[in-house]
Amino acid sequence: MKKNMDCSLSLPSKSTEERIREAAKRVFLEKGFDGATSRDIAEAASINIALTNYYFRSKEKLFMNIFEEMLQLFFNGMIDIMNHPISLREKIAELINHDFQLMKENPSLSLFVMNEIHRNPDRMASCMGVMKQIHHSMFEEQLQKEVNLGTIREISAIHLMPMIFCNIQFLFIGKAMHMKMWQMTEGQFDEFADKHKNLVIDMITNYLFEFEKA
Amino acid sequence: MKKNMDCSLSLPSKSTEERIREAAKRVFLEKGFDGATSRDIAEAASINIALTNYYFRSKEKLFMNIFEEMLQLFFNGMIDIMNHPISLREKIAELINHDFQLMKENPSLSLFVMNEIHRNPDRMASCMGVMKQIHHSMFEEQLQKEVNLGTIREISAIHLMPMIFCNIQFLFIGKAMHMKMWQMTEGQFDEFADKHKNLVIDMITNYLFEFEKA
DNA sequence: AGTTTTTTTAAACAAATGTTTAAAACAGTG
DNA sequence: CACTGTTTTAAACATTTGTTTAAAAAAACT
């Protein structure tokens, strides 16, 4: 196999392998593993059908390649923030802001991840390492410390984390539904989501830090 | 077409049509439209392949039949509660409790609905009437009234409703992920979800009714 | 009984899908 | 240039998929 070493001047003209990956990413995210066909991907990448298997051996292998990248994208950012040496209050706001940005840039990421894990939980096996990092992040102890100090309500990470992530992700998981339901345009949805994000930060921090209110 | 009028004595022996519907419901909810095959459904219903089309003409028609029922199940209960003549505080708790019960009995309902709407938003067209009911329920005016009275924070229904529903539904949308992530058994998940439900009721009402705290 | 209508069955159909083949086009090296 | 390995192509392959057919079985009716 020869890689495109020529990263010199002129138009970069991405390698075929990368073209396939990018097309596959788009198609899988939009249609899911079951809904996406090899020909969909080939067409989206403007390449011959046989090339998907030439480079990735099978649809399943190509999918796993994309899926693992998506799981990284889904978890890595939040893990980084959880390990930042900042206050809990800042951290929660940061986590929600990051989640919002991630969803804004990848509106179907959450639905895609949830769906594929639901359909085939074993596929997550290769990424169990990433999930373990959540357990062993600074977040759990930081939270426990604040609880012990009495600065926040008594709550465990297993309950706080879904609270932090559900609000933004649910908006995008149900984006099509919300837009139909409230008859929003794309622009109106963005505006709505942005406002919602701030409300959610407000709600969670207010709930958590109940004792140190104005 | 002859219906099974014999609802007299002896074993009821559901009509073939109903057997197909029940099997299709199970299979579609678990695998989605794209992932479910006609043969999957026929096998789950223990009937001949040709019968699915004999009774429902096509996979698409059978799916829409099920999908519409699922949309009703998804929305009707919440609409009923939104129209109950009870206090806002009670109503929010009722909505969350109902959502929890619904998700407990149909763990993959929310993911299924979100997914199919995302893949094909037009399919929701037949159920736009149901959605309009949400707009015209007592909920929006009741909320606005409380805001005007100053008993609750200023917030609109379009923001409060996702807050109410996201927490429980996200738990079940990501049930497989949560269970893997925190290494929970089915029983532990139920316990976790139940506790979470109460936390969420607490958080939302505390946030909303900030002025009438102890 | 016989006749007609409804339901069920096995088999087949055409189209779509993941994958492979074998040859052509390309690129690099001597 | 010829030679070698790599990449791309069109065509084909075997399965699977949704759907239909035509006959058999069951039920309903007279």
Confidence of residue A3 (pLDDT cuts 50, 70, 90): very low
Tell if the CB–CB gap between A121 and B159 is shorter than 8 Å: no
- Would you place residue B3 in the very low, low, confident or very high pLDDT band (cuts 50, 70, 90)? very low
pLDDT at A213: 53
How many residues can be counted in chain A?
214
Is any atom of strand D within 7 angstroms of residue A2's beta carbon? yes
Q: Residue B150 pLDDT > 60, yes or no?
A: yes
Confidence of residue A212 (pLDDT cuts 50, 70, 90): low
Strand nucleotide closest to residue B3 (CA to C1'): C6
For position A7, what pLDDT does the model report? 32
**Is residue B153's beta carbon less than 7 angstroms from any atom in nucleic acid strand D?**
no
Query: Quick one: average pLDDT of A17-32?
Result: 98
pLDDT over threshold 70, residue A8: no
Question: Is some CB atom of chain B closer than 8 A to the CB atom of A92?
Answer: no
Nearest-angstrom CA–CA distance, B162 and A192: 12
- For the stretch B102-135, pLDDT in tens is 999 999 999 999 999 999 999 888 888 888 888 8
Question: What global pTM score does this model have?
Answer: 0.93
- In 3D space, the residue among A79, A97, A83, A100 whose CA is nearest the CA of residue A205 turns out to be A97
More confident call, B163 vs A135? B163
Q: Which nucleotide is nearest to B16 (CA to C1')?
A: C7
Residues of A in contact with B206 (CB under 8 A): 206-207, 210
Residue B5's pLDDT is 36
Averaged pLDDT of chain B: 92
Angstrom distance, A111 CA to D20 C1': 37
Nucleic strand D within 7 A of Cβ B24: no
Per-residue pLDDT band for A14 (boundaries 50, 70, 90) equals: confident
Q: The tokens of B191 are what?
A: 């316990």
* Subunit contact B180:A34, Cβ cutoff 8 A: no
CB pair distance less than 8 Å for B167 and A163: yes
Restricting to A residues 180-199, those with a Cβ less than 8 Å away from any Cβ of B are 180-182, 192, 195-196, 199
- Interface probe, candidates A33, A70, A166, A169, chain B, greatest B C-beta count within 10 A: A166
CB A16 within 8 A of CB A41: no
Q: In Å, what is the separation between the CA of B47 and the C1' of D25?
A: 15
**A177 near B CB under 8 A:** yes
The encoded tokens of residue B163 equal 């807050």
Amino acid A58: pLDDT: 98
Decide if pLDDT at B54 tops 70: yes
What is the tens place of the pLDDT at every residue in B83-95? 999 999 999 999 9
What pLDDT, on the 0 to 100 scale, is given for residue B13?
Answer: 54
Per-residue pLDDT, A5: 36
What's the helix, strand, coil split of chain B in %, to 5? 80, 0, 20
**Which of A 61-90 lie inside 8 A of B, CB atoms?**
none
Interval A177-195 mean pLDDT: 96
DSSP code per residue over A10-49: S-----HHHHHHHHHHHHHHHHHHHH--HHHHHHHHTS-H
pLDDT at residue A147, as a whole number: 97
User: Would you say B165 and B134 are in contact if contact means Cβ atoms under 8 Å apart?
Assistant: no
Q: What is the pLDDT of residues A70-128, one digit of tens each?
A: 999 999 999 999 999 999 999 999 999 999 999 999 999 999 999 999 999 999 888 88
Q: What average pLDDT score do residues B156-185 get?
A: 97
Tokens of B105: 């009995």
A3-7, B127-131, B174-178: least confident range: A3-7
User: Which of the residues B118, B137, B202, B207 would you substitute to probe the A interface, choosing the one with the greatest number of A C-beta atoms within 10 Å?
Assistant: B118
Cβ contacts (< 8 Å) between B183 and chain A: which residues?
none
Q: Residue B9: pLDDT above 70?
A: no
Domains and CATH numbers, chain B: 14-57 (1.10.10.60), 67-209 (1.10.357.10)
User: What integer pLDDT is reported at residue B118 of this predicted model?
Assistant: 98
The confidence score (pLDDT) of residue B152 equals 97
Cβ contact A52 with chain C strand, < 7 A: yes
> Is A166–B170 a contact, with Cβ atoms under 8 angstroms apart?
yes
Helices A88-105 and A59-82 pack at an angle, to 10 degrees, of: 150
Q: Cβ A181–B117 below 8 Å, yes or no?
A: no
Instruction: For residue A196, give the nearest of B162, B200, B202 by CB distance.
Output: B162
Q: Is B93 helix (H, G, I), strand (E, B) or coil?
A: helix
Task: Give residue B14's pLDDT.
Answer: 78
